[in-house]
Structure 1
Amino acid sequence: MAQRLFEGRDHAAAYLKYRVAPREVVDRITTFMHKKTLKRFNLAVDVGCGSGQMTTLLAPHFSQVIGVDVSAAQLEMALSNKKPANVTYRQCPAEELPFVSGEVDLVTAVAAVHWFDQEKFFQEADRVLRPGGCLAVVSYGIDMELEYGDVSDTLNKICQEYYAALIPARDPNLGVSDANMYLDMFGSCSYPDKEWNNPLCIRRTAPVSGFMGIIESTTYFQELKEKDPTEAERLSSGIKSKLLSAMKASSPDPEVTMVVKYFYWLACKP
């Protein structure tokens, strides 16, 4: 059974505010499609679209892009954000896509498939994809790195302390390793024309609070917050103080470079 998560308005708003929009991944996907398909870029469907960061990035490449998500709160955030005219949203489960068989050119799912009933989702993706259509399955790990002058190593030791403290709150659906789970999905895909990529390091500058916001929007932190809100606040405040101290920050919230490690696989339906 698919998991019902991220349905609170505050959590959905945090997704919209903090999550990194992976335009570099979109470039990789469209390059793959240009090589593998009949160059039909009519309809893309972003499954588990959340607040729509990936959905809107697909818009320049397709005649129509539809983001689907089971969460009304996530879709509310997506609709509150500025979107291109060719982007629309629908509420539905990933396992019951409201599309005619063979009408979709691209199905994407970003940081979402681990919450789906995977067997049913991949059957649905195969059903709605046209022959020559593409499937793009994307995610990233919690193990972001920070770059800041000559104290990057120190900052990353603090980050590792943070991640280790959150591991006990890890949802069982994520398995032991995010990347290994997605590699297993890749191995199970029956399409012969497919490729695995890991890692694709995406760099973004953000204030320290932006980095903290990304981590606090993860299920790791949200699970801890639900179980023990006092401990979650103590942990977050302590880590931020350690980061700022190591940076000898003269401003309350200096900018760092975040390195987000994406992994993804692409496959072309025969």
Structure 2
Amino acid sequence: MKDNFSTQAAEYAIYRPTYPKELYDFIFSLVKNRNAAWDCATGNGQVARELALHFDNVYATDISKKQIEQALKLPNIVYQVESSDKVNAADDSFDLITVAQAIHWFNFDAFYSEVKRTLKPEGIFAVIGYGIMSIDKKVDKAVHKLYEDFLGKYWDPERRYIEENYKTIPFPFEEITAPHIFIKTRWNFNQLIGYLNTWSALQHYKTANERNPIEYMFTELKEAWGSDAEKEIRFPVLLRIGR
């Protein structure tokens, strides 16, 4: 599994979007018991924090120690630096297993083996993510130019699973039809720039070229943004859920 986010762990915690209540309500409605949940690739613990409000115990794992250091600590969350394909948990441990914006980096077979081993017989497994944001025509055009023209060759091959809305990942589970859900928030221009700086491809570009590509795009992005103090941001939620 690749670790593409330790370098920008602090920015990731600040600028990455959060999932809406509607998403959690749907997932939790499917879970029969709420004794224990595993949030794999927890990052800064965004999903784990929400799980902790509804489950007695949450086990949250990530390969990045720096990401976990950014996570909010709660009494019923145990954070561990562990890989997705080898979790320190007994068979039939979890009522719910989640993985958010990370499964495209995994060895699918190895991870699914652990999911099937540790998920309770009536447990629920949820693959969560979000696609490319939309703001308005002008900003979207400038962001796409950064995404494609500057960063195109710097995206890892696994990024295609996001672009394909997780529809092409293997999913050997009894699948449950998921609703269409969007992350909706409002950002100022600085928040947009902060978010763009968390992109893994941007970090790859900086390493290869010793320059931040946003330097070349900043004026164009600013002009596209215009004079609005804030704009509405929409991310489509990607959701595969099964038992």
TM above 0.5, yes or no, is yes
The DSSP-based 3-state class of the residue aligned with 1:6 is: coil
Could you list the per-position Cα deviations for residues 196-244 of structure 1 after superposition, in whole angstroms to 9, with x for gaps in the alignment?
Answer: 55x5221111211112212210112111122223251423423432234
Q: Where do 4+ consecutive residues of structure 1 move more than 3 Å?
A: none
Structure 2 residue aligned with 1:18: 15
The answer for unaligned runs of 5 or more in structure 2 is: none
The DSSP-based 3-state class of the residue aligned with 1:15 is: helix
CA RMSD of aligned residues (A): 1.9
Alpha-carbon deviation of 1:65? 1.2
Alpha-carbon deviation of 1:178? 1.6
Alpha-carbon deviation of 1:57? 1.3
Is the contact made by 1:162 and 1:239 (CA closer than 8 Å) also made in structure 2? Answer: no
Is the contact made by 2:165 and 2:238 (CA closer than 8 Å) also made in structure 1? Answer: no
Query: Superposition pairs for residues 203-218 of structure 1, below 5 Å?
Result: 203-218=184-199
Between the aligned partners of 1:201 and 1:117, the Cα distance in structure 2 is 27
Q: Is residue 73 from structure 1 mapped to residue 52 from structure 2 by the alignment?
A: no
Alignment: residue pair count: 241
Between the aligned partners of 1:60 and 1:228, the Cα distance in structure 2 is 44
**Aligned residue type for 1:59:** A
Between the aligned partners of 1:128 and 1:13, the Cα distance in structure 2 is 31
Query: Superposition pairs for residues 23-172 of structure 1, below 5 Å?
Result: 23-24=20-21, 25-33=23-31, 39-78=32-71, 81=72, 83-141=73-131, 143-146=132-135, 152-165=136-149, 166-172=151-157
Structure 1 residue aligned with 2:167: 183
Between the aligned partners of 1:174 and 1:240, the Cα distance in structure 2 is 23
More helix by share: 1
The answer for unaligned runs of 5 or more in structure 1 is: 34-38, 147-151
Between the aligned partners of 1:101 and 1:227, the Cα distance in structure 2 is 43
TM-score (norm 2): 0.91
Between the aligned partners of 2:222 and 2:210, the Cα distance in structure 1 is 18
Structure 2 residue aligned with 1:149: none
TM-score (norm 1): 0.82
> Quick one: structure 1 residues 102 and 6, their matched pair in 2 at CA, closer, same or farther if it must change by over 3 Å?
same
Percent identity reads 24
